[in-house]
């Protein structure tokens, strides 16, 4: 059977109509008129336009058809990890160069550095107790501080704190400090965008996970408050403490003469008035003295001058004691110079000196003056 010249070898076309598929002349071409084009363009303009884009993350709430950035949305800065008791218990209080701080206070100083996209020694911390390690061409930063008790405080930032990561650094580390560390031997971390990771806390000294070179055994760690100097002279006499005291200093650094220094924004002379009120303004550093038995605040100390290894400190009784204590005191420039000269000459070699004021109330001196080590001004206390 054939149909239009084609052979049906298997008789499969039986009963089918044949169609003439011979070529035909095409219809004459008629160009679109301007009005036809306007109609067509109007129809096309109303159709949606497909724009290829990456699949949005599940956390994205945007309904925009614009393609998202190549960097995914950051993880919620409150979604932190936390490990308790990551290290031996360190000191509850620490003596920094500008006063007494707690563990959280030290963490905030570390945070201040790395979240400002720096990698340096934190404010008020001796560089001798600090190890710094950078990597990835300076993008990553680890800062560690050796503490007494075989502990180190540290912070690590994997990527630069710039752009959106600047605020995320501040927020995530604050959440870690307040929700995880809480002045304890703990560590917390936060994972953000790819390669964005922040961690801080306490860990054993020279921990295996530390990036820095090990702290040498000779490293002077940041330590807690030393025991106050013991004294019983209430008559204004000067007591010297042996050079074995933790608060000892080179007495040659302790002597002040007229015109030798600027103290509390005034050149020292006999008529100067040196006070411990408003400690944030008047003290180079300051802190509290506590009862070793109850933890009760007994008084405060204020470094009014320091030079070399020697700090001149005034300690005041806390105002909550009976007898009208106001928690601060003032001394004249003459008395200040006399005390430093007499105490330094009397005590001689590296030592510490303390003198209780003659002014008393209910049997206690209102203020004590001390010459101590700049590293431990807290040994000066009022009984």
Greater confidence (293 vs 283) lies with 283
pLDDT, average across residues 247-263? 86
The Cβ-side half-sphere exposure at 77, using a 13 Å CA radius, reads 16
pLDDT grade, residue 12 (50/70/90)? low
Distances (CA, A) of 345 to 2, 246, 331: 135, 20, 20
Query: Which helix or strand (DSSP H or E) is residue 167 part of?
Result: helix 164-176
- Contact assessment for residue 287 and residue 379, using Cβ atoms and an 8 Å cutoff: no
pLDDT for position 249: 76
pLDDT grade, residue 11 (50/70/90)? low
pLDDT digits (tens, 9 = 90+) for 105-128: 999 999 999 999 999 999 989 899
Task: Please give the Cα distance from 99 to 101 (Å, whole number).
Answer: 7
- Contact assessment for residue 99 and residue 289, using Cβ atoms and an 8 Å cutoff: no
The Cβ-side half-sphere exposure at 187, using a 13 Å CA radius, reads 19
Task: Please give the Cα distance from 286 to 378 (Å, whole number).
Answer: 8
Please choose, from the candidates 260, 256, 307, 268, the residue with its C-alpha nearest in 3D space to the C-alpha of residue 284. Answer: 307
pLDDT for position 337: 92
Indicate the length of the chain as a whole number: 383
pTM higher than 0.75: no
356 pLDDT above the threshold of 70? no
pLDDT digits (tens, 9 = 90+) for 359-373: 554 444 557 888 888
pLDDT grade, residue 176 (50/70/90)? very high
pLDDT, average across residues 22-29? 56
pLDDT grade, residue 93 (50/70/90)? confident
pLDDT, average across residues 165-173? 95
Cα-Cα-Cα-Cα torsion 293, 296, 298, 302, nearest 10 degrees, comes to 110
Sorted by sequence, the CB contacts under 8 Å of residue 131 that are 6+ apart come out as 143, 144, 146, 210, 212, 213, 215
- Contact assessment for residue 274 and residue 328, using Cβ atoms and an 8 Å cutoff: no
DSSP state of 179: I
DSSP state of 374: T
């Amino acid at each position: 059977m054939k149909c239009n010249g084609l052979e049906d070898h298997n008789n499969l076309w039986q009963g089918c109509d044949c169609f003439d598929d011979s070529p035909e002349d095409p219809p004459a071409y008629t160009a679109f008129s301007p009005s036809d084009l306007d109609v067509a363009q109007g129809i096309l303009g109303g159709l949606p336009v497909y724009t290829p884009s990456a699949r949005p993350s599940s956390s994205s709430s945007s309904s925009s058809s614009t393609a998202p950035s190549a960097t995914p949305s950051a993880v919620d800065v409150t979604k932190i990890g936390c490990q308790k008791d990551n290290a031996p218990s360190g000191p509850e209080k620490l003596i920094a160069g500008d006063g007494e701080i707690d563990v959280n206070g030290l963490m905030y100083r570390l945070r201040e550095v790395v979240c400002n996209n720096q990698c340096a020694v934190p404010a008020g911390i001796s560089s001798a107790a600090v190890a710094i390690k950078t990597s990835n061409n300076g993008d990553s930063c680890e800062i560690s501080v050796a503490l007494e008790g075989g502990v180190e405080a540290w912070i690590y930032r994997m990527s630069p704190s710039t752009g959106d990561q600047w605020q995320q650094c501040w927020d995530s580390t604050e959440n870690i400090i307040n929700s995880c560390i809480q002045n304890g031997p703990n560590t917390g971390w936060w994972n953000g965008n790819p390669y964005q990771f922040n961690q801080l806390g306490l860990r054993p000294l020279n921990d295996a996970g530390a990036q820095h070179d090990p702290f040498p055994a000779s490293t002077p760690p940041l330590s807690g408050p030393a025991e106050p100097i013991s004294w019983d002279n209430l008559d204004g006499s000067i007591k010297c403490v042996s050079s074995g005291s933790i608060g000892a200093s080179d007495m040659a650094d302790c002597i002040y003469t007229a015109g030798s220094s600027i103290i509390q924004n005034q050149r020292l002379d006999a008529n100067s008035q040196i006070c411990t009120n408003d400690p944030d303004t008047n003290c180079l550093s300051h802190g509290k003295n506590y009862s070793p038995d109850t933890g009760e605040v007994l008084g405060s100390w204020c470094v009014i001058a320091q030079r070399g290894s020697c700090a001149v400190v005034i300690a005041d009784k806390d105002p909550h004691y009976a007898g009208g204590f106001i928690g601060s005191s003032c001394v004249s420039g003459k008395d200040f110079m006399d005390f430093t000269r007499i105490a330094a000459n009397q005590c001689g070699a590296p030592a510490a000196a303390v003198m209780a004021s003659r002014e008393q109330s209910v049997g206690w001196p209102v203020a004590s003056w001390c010459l101590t080590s700049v590293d431990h001004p807290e040994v000066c206390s009022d009984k």
